Amino acid sequence: MADLSEALKEAYATVPDDTVIWHCLEFDHPTFLNEAGARIPGYVVLGNAILTAGIEAGALNNPGEFVDFMPVAFDFRLPPTDPQQNVRLELILDNVGSALTKHFEPAVEDGRPITTIYRTYLSTDLSAPAAQPIELSMANIKVTTTEIRGSAMFADLLNRPFPNKRYDPDTAPFLFPT
**What string of H, E and C letters represents the secondary structure of the chain?**
CCCHHHHHHHHHHCCCCCCCEEEEEEEECCCCECCCCCECCEEEEECCCCEEEECCCCCCCCCCCEEEEEEEEEEEECCCCCCCCCCEEEEEEECCCHHHHHHHHHHHHHCCCEEEEEEEEECCECCCCCCCCEEEEEEEEEECCCEEEEEEEECCHHHCCCCCCCCCCCCCHHHCCC
Full pLDDT tens readout for the chain, 178 residues: 344 456 446 656 776 777 888 999 999 999 998 889 888 999 999 999 999 999 999 899 999 999 999 999 998 776 666 665 666 788 999 888 777 888 899 999 998 999 999 998 988 889 999 888 888 899 999 998 889 999 888 765 555 566 666 777 887 788 887 7
For domain 19-156, give the CATH number: 2.30.110
